[in-house]
Amino acid sequence: YRAGLASACLSIYAFWPYIRDILANRTRPERASWLIWALLSAVSLLGQVYEGADRSLGFAMIQTAGTVIICGLTCWKTTQWAFKTEDSQVLPATAVGIWLWAEMESAAYSLFVTITMSMMGGLLTMKKAFVDPTSATWSTWAAFFVSALLAVVAIGGFDWLLLAYPLYVMVLSGGIMLCMAAGRVVQARRPEVAPEHRKQLTLSVMSFRPVGSPSASE
């Protein structure tokens, strides 16, 4: 019970520095990622309710509310509504995932689809965190990581269906922090490398293209 309560409290705190930095124009979220997460976190919450989650349920509820708030703030701060090329590829896949979730009777399959689609949004934020590490809030992702770890402890047993979502949040948060750290290392060691070149490098790795080959413009 204590681990579940601590997870919920830390998850509440995690959103605060991110919201504060958005309002102060220090954090520039990946809009498509937060739109995907706002929709899919609600799906995950419904899946956990269906499976009878109790002590870990507060974690999922706070995640859903927080992502919806940040998605709204991100859209409010957006001056250009057109999505980037890679975003326009991920968003339709997410829509298909939501349709699959609605058609599936198995909570296990729907949760798998939810996490897969959510990770697609996460890859967009990881790319952005590497290209522009100052555009993200480190403390938020660190708090999410620890909160998810506490949620795993709160479950208190090996139920992979209940463990799947907090474990996914740990992987996502850890990946974003690693990308931020890698981006900062590149900036420190090679300050002459422009963000545009780091972006091209990231896109090349994600699409398995050699650096310098033509890539889709945003």
> What's the pLDDT score for residue 80?
53
Query: Is the model's pTM score more than 0.75?
Result: no
How do residues 29-49 score in pLDDT, each as one tens digit?
888 888 888 877 777 677 677
How do residues 162-174 score in pLDDT, each as one tens digit?
888 889 889 999 9
Closest CA to 40 of 94, 105, 91, 102: 94
How do residues 110-122 score in pLDDT, each as one tens digit?
777 778 888 888 8
> What's the pLDDT score for residue 71?
86
Buried b (16+ CB within 10 A) or exposed e, 59-75: bbbbbbbbbbbbbebbe
> What's the pLDDT score for residue 198?
47
Indicate the SS3 state at residue 185: helix
Whole-number percent of the chain with pLDDT over 70 = 67
Asked if residue 64 lies in contact with residue 41, where contact means CB atoms within 8 angstroms, the answer is: yes
Torsion sign across C-alpha atoms 103, 83, 138, 203: positive
Give the range among 54-58, 87-91, 123-127, 193-197 with minimum mean pLDDT.
193-197
- Residue 206 pLDDT exceeds 60: no
Average pLDDT score over residue span 107-135: 82
> What's the pLDDT score for residue 201?
46
Give the range among 59-73, 100-114, 118-132, 158-172 with minimum mean pLDDT.
100-114
Instruction: Taking each helix axis as running N to C, give the angle between helix 160-189 and helix 107-131, from 0 to 180 degrees, rounded to the nearest 10.
Output: 10
pLDDT tier at 62, thresholds 50, 70, 90: confident
